[in-house]
């Protein structure tokens, strides 16, 4: 894996401002980057606590992946400081994590904005599908909010490999995101574009419920039994467009090949979005 030299950043250009939270490898900060043209850019800075070469390499994997993407709804890699301590510099999403944002602003959301978020994520996932990338951890906790009208997919720590490895188990706080996972991922550790579609269905459900937790109160070990028995997440609310609820059911087809592709999902969401915009104006 190599990083294009365009991405190398001198530490002197970076100014850390405040901590945003803790990531898998270390603290994440908000900061500023001064460009060669003396422009100041808002950035997010990921740090890596452990500095052995194995950890550093695993940490940099996310940068190797992110540099391949250029999409309005995917967080952009700005650069990397490769001298120790290694830093990963990314575009800042000013309003933070989507789930927290949805919960904090419940009373302000209209269906149009919620469907817009789903459509934006679908366009990002369609882009990844075309590039043959499987994300494997699509959930509202991995989506960030830039402004009220724009969300971005983040967290590419898991997206590089198609097979599950030990790093994955250790990765997400020692837990697999069972409640988001497709049955074939739970049963056979099979991750494909079609298992991403299932996960995206759960993520759309989180969005449309404005931050409810899927299968709350159900033990991880019982989730797969429920799915095998045909149980699915409930209708998010009376305000959820019928066509969107139908789309969720399709994403949760037990048989992966019965699920729609991201291309189909995106076009369906565009059409629902147009319909909801017309409804809200009438
Ligand atoms: P995990 O696997 O546990 O999610 P991680 O290493 O992927 O960890 P993040 O969860 O992405 O780390 O980051 C930790 C915190 O920093 C989160 O609260 C997240 O909201 C915030 N954060 C990360 N990247 C950005 C960004 N580009 N803009 C704004 N906030 C960010």
168 lines ligand 1 (CB under 6 A): no
Residue 169 has pLDDT above 50, yes or no: no
Atom 10 of ligand 1: nearest residue by CA position: 23
Q: In the annotation, is 70 catalytic?
A: no
Residue 170 has pLDDT above 50, yes or no: no
Residue 9 has pLDDT above 70, yes or no: yes
Reading the block at residue 40, the tokens are: 């100041």
Matching residue, tokens 């990338």 = 133
Residue 189 has pLDDT above 90, yes or no: no
Q: Give the pLDDT confidence of 40-94 residue by residue, as tens digits.
A: 999 999 999 988 989 999 899 888 889 999 999 999 999 999 888 899 999 999 9
Counting ligand 1 atoms within 8 A of each CB, the residue from 19, 22, 24, 28 with the most, and so the one to mutate, is 28
Residue 172 has pLDDT above 70, yes or no: no
Catalytic residue among 137, 165, 222, 225: 137
- Residue that wins the pLDDT comparison between 55 and 271: 271
Q: What is the pLDDT of residue 127?
A: 95
Q: What is the pLDDT of residue 167?
A: 32
174 lines ligand 1 (CB under 6 A): no
Pairing mode of beta strands 14-22, 27-34: antiparallel
With cut-offs at 50, 70 and 90, classify the pLDDT of residue 166: very low
Q: What is the pLDDT of residue 159?
A: 59
177 lines ligand 1 (CB under 6 A): no
Q: What is the pLDDT of residue 175?
A: 66
Ligand 1, residue 93: give the atom nearest the CA.
28
Counting ligand 1 atoms within 8 A of each CB, the residue from 17, 18, 19, 21 with the most, and so the one to mutate, is 21
Q: What is the pLDDT of residue 165?
A: 43
Q: Give the pLDDT confidence of 226-252 residue by residue, as tens digits.
A: 999 999 999 888 889 999 999 999 999
Q: What is the pLDDT of residue 237?
A: 85
Q: What is the pLDDT of residue 153?
A: 96
Q: Give the chain's mean pLDDT.
A: 90
Q: Which long-range contacts (CB under 8 A, 24 or more apart) does 94-97 make?
A: 94/42, 94/145, 94/146, 94/147, 95/144, 95/145, 95/146, 95/147, 95/148, 96/20, 96/144, 96/145, 97/140, 97/141, 97/143, 97/144, 97/145
């Amino acid at each position: 894996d190599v990083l294009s030299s365009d991405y190398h950043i001198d530490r002197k250009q970076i100014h850390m401002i405040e901590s945003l939270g803790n990531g898998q490898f270390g603290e994440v900060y908000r900061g500023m980057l001064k460009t060669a043209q003396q422009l100041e850019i808002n950035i997010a800075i990921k740090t890596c606590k452990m500095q052995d070469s194995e950890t550093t390499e695993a940490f940099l994997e996310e940068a190797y992946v992110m540099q391949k993407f250029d999409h309005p709804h995917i967080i952009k890699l700005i650069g990397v400081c490769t001298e120790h301590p290694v830093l990963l510099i990314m575009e800042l999403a000013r309003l933070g994590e989507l789930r927290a944002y949805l919960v904090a602003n419940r009373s302000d959301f209209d269906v149009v904005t919620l469907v817009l978020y789903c459509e934006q994520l679908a366009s990002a996932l369609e882009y990844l599908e075309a590039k043959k990338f499987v994300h494997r951890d699509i959930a509202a906790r991995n989506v960030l909010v830039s402004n009220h009208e724009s969300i971005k997919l983040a967290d590419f720590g898991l997206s590089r490999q198609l097979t599950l490895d030990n790093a994955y188990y250790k990765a997400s706080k020692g837990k697999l995101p069972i409640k988001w996972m497709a049955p074939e991922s739970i049963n056979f550790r099979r991750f494909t574009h079609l298992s991403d579609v299932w996960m995206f269905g759960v993520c759309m459900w989180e969005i449309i419920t404005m931050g409810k937790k899927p299968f709350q109160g159900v033990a991880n070990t019982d989730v797969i039994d429920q799915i095998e028995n045909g149980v699915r997440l409930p209708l998010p609310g009376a305000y959820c467009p019928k066509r969107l609820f139908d789309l969720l059911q399709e994403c949760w087809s037990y048989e992966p090949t019965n699920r729609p592709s991201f291309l189909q999902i995106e076009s369906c969401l565009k059409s629902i979005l147009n319909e909801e915009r017309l409804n809200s104006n009438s």
